[in-house]
Amino acid sequence: MNKVKEVCELLGVEAGEEFQVKDYGNNPYMINYVGCVLVKIDCEWTRSESISLEDLVCGDAEIIKQWKPVLGEEYYIVDFSRFKSYHNKYEFVYNSVYVNDKKQNFLIELKKANLAFDNPEDAQKRAYEIIGRD
């Protein structure tokens, strides 16, 4: 009987879910449905030569889960399309976004670029950093 699902659950990931491995660069990894650890290199998944399932289970390698926005939740993104300046006061440099299936991957990429936040204050602060204003 295949126990990959249970092993993945123990590790805090799902089979087929992308994650990173601490101290092993930025390439995404995943555990496939037969228990092999795969690494994505140049847009192609191949069996990892540096990380094994045993390394992950025994704690010799640490999984870093990718941030995922929660469906239905509201997030704030830096959005200069709504940028306005009134007498050197900047407003509308962030926008709220509700997560649906279509926007989930979009928000993941914005979060990686430090452009998506849980609150409007952090989005505003980041926008001001980008334009060089405190």
pLDDT per residue as tens digits for the range 70-120: 788 888 888 776 555 555 555 556 677 777 777 788 888 888 888 888 888
Task: Mark whether 80 and 125 lie in a shared domain.
Answer: yes
Of 13, 30, 65, the one marking the end of a domain is 65
3-state SS class at 32: coil
Of 65, 82, 102, the one marking the end of a domain is 65
Question: What average pLDDT does this structure show over 31-40?
Answer: 94
Task: Mark whether 57 and 82 lie in a shared domain.
Answer: no
Total domains present in the chain: 2
The order of strands in the sheet holding 29-31 is 44-47, 37-41, 29-31, 19-21, 63-65
Q: Which helix (H) or strand (E) holds 44?
A: strand 44-47
Task: Mark whether 59 and 108 lie in a shared domain.
Answer: no
Give me the domain span that covers residue 27.
4-65
Question: What average pLDDT does this structure show over 20-35?
Answer: 92
Whole-number pLDDT of residue 73 = 82
Burial label, 81 (beta-carbon count in 10 A; 0-12, 13-18, 19+): exposed
